[in-house]
Amino acid sequence: MDSNGSSANGTVDQATQKVTFALYEAGPQTGITATVTATGPCGSASYTTAPATLAGVTGGKACPSAQTAQQAIYPNPATSQLNIATDGQAARVTFYDAAGTPRKTLQLREGAALNAVNVRDLPTGLYHVQVLIDGQTPIDKQVLIQP
């Protein structure tokens, strides 16, 4: 997890043993540093990339526009509202508390590129926000809600 709360789990291709990570980072896509830590029965090893510019590609293909919505889940921390971009697509948003309990779920309607979500009803704390858009990889973000 980085300082913005972004993290990703890798997917292993059993045939090639290649691990692929889908990373969606908020803000400008320059100066990004990624650290990968592999843990197995013999211990852990880490690899850190040098700051780089992300081109918004995964596996050589342009990311679908809804996947780039991760760039617009802000502010973090949030006090009264959280802005969530879905590029005009319908989406389901769920806020999970630190114990993994769903605390708030809402449906975002198709047509709005940016949705302002009221978070005043959520107690102060760290939340895992999951945005599900049909047929796409879930967008996950850790967000601090504070007064």
pLDDT digits (tens, 9 = 90+) for 66-121: 444 445 789 999 999 999 988 888 999 999 999 999 999 999 999 988 899 999 99
Task: Give the per-residue pLDDT at 61.
Answer: 34
What contacts 48, CB < 8 A, 6 or more positions away? 33, 34, 35, 36
- Checking if the pLDDT of 26 tops 70, the result is no
Of the pLDDT bands very low, low, confident and very high (cuts 50, 70, 90), residue 62 is very low
Residue carrying the six token digits 């969530």: 84
Task: Give the per-residue pLDDT at 88.
Answer: 86
CA dist 65 and 8 (Å) reads 18
Where exactly are the structural domains of the chain? 11-58, 64-145
Task: Give the per-residue pLDDT at 36.
Answer: 66
- Average pLDDT over the chain, rounded to an integer: 74
CA dist 103 and 119 (Å) reads 11
CA dist 64 and 79 (Å) reads 30
* Topology (CATH level 3) of domain 64-145: Immunoglobulin-like (2.60.40)
Token reading at 27: 């803000």
Query: How many C-beta atoms surround the C-beta of residue 98 within 10 A?
Result: 10
